[in-house]
Structure 1
Amino acid sequence: MPKFIIERSIPGAGKLTADQLQGISQKSCGVLNQLGPKIQWVQSFVTDDKIYCVYIAPNAELVQEHARQGGFPADSVAKVLTVIDPTPAE
């Protein structure tokens, strides 16, 4: 199933407390449970003013629906075409 990278603009994201991040995670998981097993949250990366998330889903529309239902921004949703790492360089 395809992977997607979601860019979420959240001013001050890097200053969110552990409790705030837990609340966001709980909200996200609640929406995921409602949407069913076809969409999975893999992980997220928090920066100063953005959160970048990795999801597995059959299509970008389902990822966008998750954002809509959860009230999360989804500034961009990009399908991952290829994954590379240092291994091929060896």
Structure 2
Amino acid sequence: MPNYIVERHLPGFDKEKLAAAASLAKMATGKMTSEGTPVRYLRSFFVPGEDKCYCLSEAMSPDVVQQANDEAGLPYISITEGFHVSADELS
């Protein structure tokens, strides 16, 4: 499945608030998947100096990721398809 990066502006967030938001995303994506719409929340990165959060999800389309965020009640600026490379994938 394609990966999507969700950009959020979250002023005043800390680790606890980020964990709570991540929990909402995980619950919403789990519910949608169990109802037949595959989508997976993977992880979040927060940049305190910019009040920005970047979340990584897997889904068949950006519309599915948008629906998951709407169901979780999480704000977003943009949802963009992306990809990543991990250190484990390098030789």
TM-score, normalization by structure 1: 0.77
Alpha-carbon separation, structure 1, partners of 2:22 and 2:39: 15
5+ residue gaps in structure 1? none
Alpha-carbon separation, structure 2, partners of 1:10 and 1:30: 20
**In structure 1, what residue type is equivalent to 2:64?**
L
- Residue 22 of structure 1, CA deviation: 2.9
The 4+ residue runs of structure 1 with deviation greater than 3 A are 82-86
5+ residue gaps in structure 2? none
* Partner in structure 2 of residue 66 of structure 1: 68
**In structure 2, what residue type is equivalent to 1:34?**
K
1:79 is paired with a residue whose SS is: strand
* Partner in structure 1 of residue 32 of structure 2: 35
Q: Whose strand proportion is higher, 1 or 2?
A: 2
Alpha-carbon separation, structure 1, partners of 2:19 and 2:6: 19
Query: Is the CA contact (8 Å cut-off) linking 2:26 and 2:40 kept in structure 1?
Result: no
Q: Which has more radius of gyration?
A: 1
* Partner in structure 2 of residue 8 of structure 1: 8
1:73 is paired with a residue whose SS is: coil
1:77 paired to 2:79: yes
Q: 1:23 to 1:78 in 2, by over 3 A?
A: same
Count of paired positions:
83
**In structure 2, what residue type is equivalent to 1:23?**
A
Alpha-carbon separation, structure 2, partners of 1:73 and 1:21: 13
Query: Over aligned residues, Cα RMSD in angstroms?
Result: 2.1
